[in-house]
Amino acid sequence: MTAAAPDEILFQLYHSAFKPVQERMRNYYQKYLPLLQEITPEEWETIEGKPGTPKYNKARDSFIAIRLDSKPKKPPVPEEFAPPPPPAVPASSWSTPETAMARRGRQG
């Protein structure tokens, strides 16, 4: 998609009746491209090699793949929307094997 001309992409999208083709194009423009635009210039500078060389292109492709494969960080939940903590269970209600057998009427 990155190397294709815009008119070729539009032609393919318009004439393709295959759902996977349409979904991949939609995912590229709605998910992957915005994620790539979030990469800062400082992060791009960490890629080894000179821009335009095969080594740089390979390192750039692997950097992009790692970035896209990583799970997005979840934003912190404000305290007002956080779920309440579970209620505490009193220690006296805990069941031990002896108390469980005593409840059943058996003696150990």
Q: What is the pLDDT of residue 91?
A: 61
Spell out the domain ranges in the chain: 1-38, 41-71
Predicted confidence (pLDDT) per residue in 9-56, tens digit: 888 878 888 888 888 888 888 888 888 888 888 888 888 888 889 998
Q: Are 42 and 70 in contact (CB under 8 A)?
A: no
d(CA 4, CA 100): 71
Closest CA to 30 of 8, 7, 59, 1: 1
Instruction: Report how far residue 9's alpha carbon sits from residue 17's, in angstroms, rounded to the nearest whole number.
Output: 14
**pTM beyond 0.75, yes or no:** no
Q: Please compute, for residue 7, the number of CA atoms within 13 A of its CA located in the half-sphere on the CB side.
A: 0
